Amino acid sequence: MLNLQNVKRDISKAYFSTANTAERYNILQEILKHIDDLRTTTVKQIEDGSFETIEENKVLYVIHDILAISSGLHIDSVKALVHIDSEVSHVFAELNLDSLDFVEFIMEVEEKCDVEISDYDAEGFKRISDIVSAVINK
């Protein structure tokens, strides 16, 4: 409980330390990202020590973020469209992104997740889950 109180204090301090709307927005986005990560932690995961789903959700968040920026859509719109089992070709078609955008997307994933994905692996991605697995297993 003490940890939660410290987190609340730190969030309040960061949020109210600035009057800049853009900085406040960024702080709120970070809070929402962490809430999404925490929400995926279930009692079962805590009991058996399996946190792979949390890792998956972190990578999925990075994918959502990159696709939102690439498509110019709000991240919530991208989250509604892009799920772990979504087909990559369908996602890119829906977001009006082409093959060059896909190459740039893979490069962004590599940079943000600090991994290297071979061209061969990238060509084989059929579903978003394939990308997530490639990042987690690197």
As annotated, the active-site residues are 98
Between CA 50 and CA 96 the distance in angstroms is 37
* Contacts of residue 137, Cβ cutoff 8 Å, sequence gap at least 6: none
Amino acid at 56: E
Burial class of residue 25 (count of CB atoms within 10 Å of its CB; 0-12, 13-18, 19+): exposed
